[in-house]
Amino acid sequence: MSSHRIALEDRYCAHNYQPLPVVLSKGLGIWLWDEDGKRYMDMMSAYSAVSFGHSHPALVEALTHQAGQLAVTSRAFYTDQLGSFLQLLCEMTGMPKALPMNSGTEAVETALKAARKWGYKVKGIPDQQAEIIVCHGNFAGRTTTIVGFSSEAQYRDGFGPFDGGFVTIPFGDAAALEAAITPRTAAFLVEPIQGEGGIIVPPDGYLAQCREICTRHDVLLICDEVQTGLGRTGRLLACDHEGIKPDGLILGKALGGGLLPVSAFLARRDVMDVFTPGDHGSTFGGNPLAAAVGHAALSLLRDGALIAAAQRLGQRLRDGLSAIQHPAICSVRGKGLLIGLELDPNIISARNFCERLMEEGVLSKETHHTVVRFAPPLIISAAEIDAALRIIEHVFATLPTPHTEDCT
């Protein structure tokens, strides 16, 4: 049956993904089951979208209750769910106003529009000349505007011509940010940790330096926390590690509780107030069903227990990975439960390593051919972390151990 399902998808679906050869049919907590009943530990949690685990009872209850009341209306009307959801979201993040969307990509597009219009209407940049600074290795989505400022050749190949107005600098280099700023600069868009880029953590103090530079030059600091936000790195927001407050904040993935696409752009008032009726919108953004689920997801984080667990168990996972001795391992990096294991492709590709993990009952995904990502649901236990480590160590034990000089 599994081969039939794979054949159907391959036949009728565009080949824009290359899934591992497993057909999943059920999920509960940190666990997934395939059609044959084999159980797998989910060490990816859909790029942080399933941060609360599969089918979390509080989230499923919120979803089913609201679906039976009112699911979708146009934003042409008020509803009894959106205001309380946005109030909680703003109170928890310390941001004054929010604009709800669906996917993380849509929230990024919203941020770009807000930054440009703020640049023209508030900062006084000449019309059509606004620039937004981004980082090499960024990943913010797949729309043509966003891939236009990607440094990954494949993401751009065949999809131009692209929108202009973006300046790319090295990630983690605050001096490069300052050097790139001109009177036309409206904003700096940055991921506190680059996820798709390979779980790249910048030097300590980087975001704080960026905050100071942006403030001094009247440039908006916009943090893309679609993947790193809402407890993933051991703080509510990854930028909380350095105690900085951005001018704009982008959230998604975990905000939908693993059940729906829910995202938001949050910003200080003068940034958000550039929007007037008709400037921007979304058919589904902020619908009652999404608002109810988003409110329930945020409520799970309010007491801080899951966030503290992400910090503690992430350290346990990083320490365990670092203790494995094998020449295929180049580095272990990350924060909280967002960890990258970089491998030497001369010994094994990250894809092949993920396939071997799958055979042993652990699901993950590679990025850039050399990095295996580990980002399990925040509800994972210490015992389950240890079980995953035993499987990972076992896979390494099955690999050849040739001498290698470095990871290239």
Asked if 144 contacts 159 with a C-beta cutoff of 8 angstroms, the reply is yes
One-letter amino acid identity for 168? T
Asked if 375 contacts 45 with a C-beta cutoff of 8 angstroms, the reply is yes
Which residues share a beta bridge with 248? Answer: 222, 267
Q: Is the peptide bond before 161 cis (omega within 30 degrees of 0)?
A: yes
275 is catalytic: no
- Residues contacting residue 205 through CB under 8 Å, at least 6 positions apart: 242
Asked if 281 contacts 352 with a C-beta cutoff of 8 angstroms, the reply is no
Q: Is 369 helix (H, G, I), strand (E, B) or coil?
A: coil
Q: What are phi and psi of 100, to 5 degrees?
A: -80, 140
117 is catalytic: no
- Residues contacting residue 161 through CB under 8 Å, at least 6 positions apart: none
240-244 long-range contacts, Cβ below 8 Å, gap at least 24? Answer: 241/192, 241/207, 241/335, 242/204, 242/205, 242/206, 242/207, 242/208, 242/211, 243/208, 244/207, 244/208, 244/210, 244/211
Question: Which candidate in 42, 85, 117, 139 is catalytic?
Answer: 139
297's tokens = 């997801």
Asked if 345 contacts 370 with a C-beta cutoff of 8 angstroms, the reply is yes
On the CB side of 291, CA atoms within 13 Å amount to 25
224 is catalytic: yes
- Torsion angle, alpha carbons of 170, 172, 177, 180, to 10: -10
Between CA 370 and CA 387 the distance in angstroms is: 23
Question: Which candidate in 34, 224, 240, 247 is catalytic?
Answer: 224
Asked if 214 contacts 221 with a C-beta cutoff of 8 angstroms, the reply is yes
The label of the residue with tokens 């400037």 reads 279
Q: Count the residues in the chain.
A: 408
On the CB side of 328, CA atoms within 13 Å amount to 24
Question: Which candidate in 117, 253, 335, 365 is catalytic?
Answer: 253
132's tokens = 């937004």
408's tokens = 């290239």
Catalytically annotated residues: 139, 224, 253
